Amino acid sequence: MREATTVGTSNWVTDQPGAEGGPVRSSEPRDPGWRLDRAQQSVVDADKSTILLGPAGTGKTVAMVHASARWAVRRGSARVLAVAADRVAARAWQSRVARLVPGAAPTVTTVAALAQSIIADDRIGPLSDAEPVRTLTAPEQEARIREILTGTVDSGSVDWPTEWKPALPTRSFARSVRRAVARARRCGWEPDRLREVAEACGDAGWRAIAQFLDEYLQVLDWEGAVDYSELALRARRVWRGRGSSAQWDVVLVDDAHFLDHTQVDLLTTLAGNGGVIRRPELKVLKPPS
């Protein structure tokens, strides 16, 4: 059972005793410059999956920082994974939790960086002689898409709808295709399955996108490259292909409403033990079962 807690308002739900609000005392790691209220402390003390909700500026991230410190002390920093929305937030979290934990601090990263490290470890391991995967920047991806678009026109490998053909050479069409490819991959669609569904629905546009996606992924594989929308999907496959068990006892996610479908699946896979992470929750703590 999960616990829902809202900070910064008088309406929040918890099964912790004494939930009237106000500062509390605890022997757990604590930033001396911040006094946790009871809602925050209930999250830090939670021993089950917890969703933390609240408006901006109400101390949700502070509670997450203290929760990561508490579990690092209890289980060891190597067994705690903290995931932030971006690198700036990850550095800030890392800096704050480092002041609360003796010795090494737990890992604080982003989903993209985490996925990159999983993919890289797979390709540079002792049994692999493959070159590290290179992650395309947005401009690089757009340039590659324009090149492949030109190739599909010359070869006729993609059945583009007639009304789309005048737009194929334009930059704006390449950007639209890039967004469509990203959307398909973030939803976990494989080219063959996307084409089947598009054909069943009579959607010539998505059928063409599926054909293009198949060619696009083949080109990236040949180049040893991956785009950002592909990172989480590829990392999840690598992790499952290894037959790896959960590496972390606790997974904490800040700003989880920014996660897409494949990122949710990746973090759920890494958490193990049936850990569930769902949108649009803002914060998710997955403690050991």
- The pLDDT score that the predictor gives to residue 251 is 87
- The pLDDT score that the predictor gives to residue 28 is 52
- In sequence order, what are the residues at sequence separation of 6 or more whose Cβ sits closer than 8 angstroms to the Cβ of residue 75? 249, 250, 288
CA max distance for the chain: 71
Question: Are 10 and 75 within one domain?
Answer: yes
The model's pTM is 0.72
Question: Are 273 and 170 within one domain?
Answer: no
- The pLDDT score that the predictor gives to residue 126 is 44
Q: What are the pLDDT tens digits along the chain (289 aa)?
A: 344 444 443 222 233 333 334 433 344 555 555 678 888 888 788 777 777 777 778 888 888 899 899 889 888 898 889 999 899 999 999 999 999 988 888 989 999 999 988 888 775 544 445 567 788 988 999 999 999 999 999 999 999 999 999 999 999 999 999 999 999 998 889 999 999 999 999 999 999 999 999 999 999 989 888 898 889 998 988 888 776 666 788 888 888 888 888 898 888 888 765 444 443 344 444 444 4
- The pLDDT score that the predictor gives to residue 192 is 95
Q: How many domains does the chain have?
A: 2
Question: Are 102 and 188 within one domain?
Answer: no
- The pLDDT score that the predictor gives to residue 277 is 40
Question: Are 37 and 117 within one domain?
Answer: yes
Question: Are 160 and 70 within one domain?
Answer: no
Tell me, yes or no, whether 34 lies in a domain: yes
Tell me, yes or no, whether 37 lies in a domain: yes
Tell me the CATH number at 39. Answer: 3.40.50.300
- The pLDDT score that the predictor gives to residue 13 is 28
Query: Which of 191, 223, 255 is the last residue in one of the domains?
Result: 223
The backbone torsions φ and ψ at residue 121, rounded to the nearest 5 degrees and listed phi first, read: -60, -35
Question: Are 19 and 117 within one domain?
Answer: yes
Residue span of the structural domain in which 139 resides: 134-223
